[in-house]
Structure 1
Amino acid sequence: MQLTAILNPAPEGGYVALNPETGTMTQGETVEEAVANLREAVQLYLEEFPMDFAGAPIVTSFDIAA
């Protein structure tokens, strides 16, 4: 199953990781640690609240005028 991880730098250092499909969030000192922590958190979430997914997510970005 392929899910999405969105990572943002945390003000205090490290990264905050979000899985938008489940709303699960976690953090880590490195990108790798944040993704590993998110993977574990999502697995635990899905054990408690199973979900069906329609397919692989499509992720894109866009610019706005500042």
Structure 2
Amino acid sequence: MSAPQEKSQRQVLLYLGEDGYFVVEVPSLPGCISQGKTRAEAIALYVEVLQARGEIVPQDTVEVVLV
């Protein structure tokens, strides 16, 4: 049995793809560009892969501002 997953929020850059799915980039997860029916689904697999590899899931320390 795996440990319960901690719920976290992350800042994301997202847009709607031509197929109707969200395309998401997550600045606090280097290299994370994903796609899913929802925002959460779009990053869940990436986080699962990091955990399966035994890698640390980075904290969201990115600040986004409009200038």
Q: TM-score range by the shorter chain?
A: 0.5 to 0.7
TM-score of the pair, normalised by structure 2: 0.54
Structure 2 equivalent of residue 26 of structure 1: 34
TM-score of the pair, normalised by structure 1: 0.55
Percent identity over the alignment? 19
Structure having the higher helix fraction is 1
Structure 2 equivalent of residue 57 of structure 1: 62
Question: In 2, Cα distance between the equivalents of 1:52 and 1:13?
Answer: 28
Structure 2 equivalent of residue 44 of structure 1: 48
Return the letter of the residue paired with 1:59.
Answer: V
Which runs of at least 4 in structure 1 moved beyond 4 Å after TM superposition? none
Whether contact under 8 Å (2:32, 2:43) holds in the other structure is: no
**Shift, 1:51, TM fit:** 4.6
Unaligned 5+ segments in structure 2 are: 1-7
Return the letter of the residue paired with 1:25.
Answer: I
SS in 2 for 1:20: coil
Aligned in 2, Cα 1:39/1:51: closer, same or farther, shift over 3 Å? closer
Unaligned 5+ segments in structure 1 are: none
Question: In 2, Cα distance between the equivalents of 1:15 and 1:52?
Answer: 22
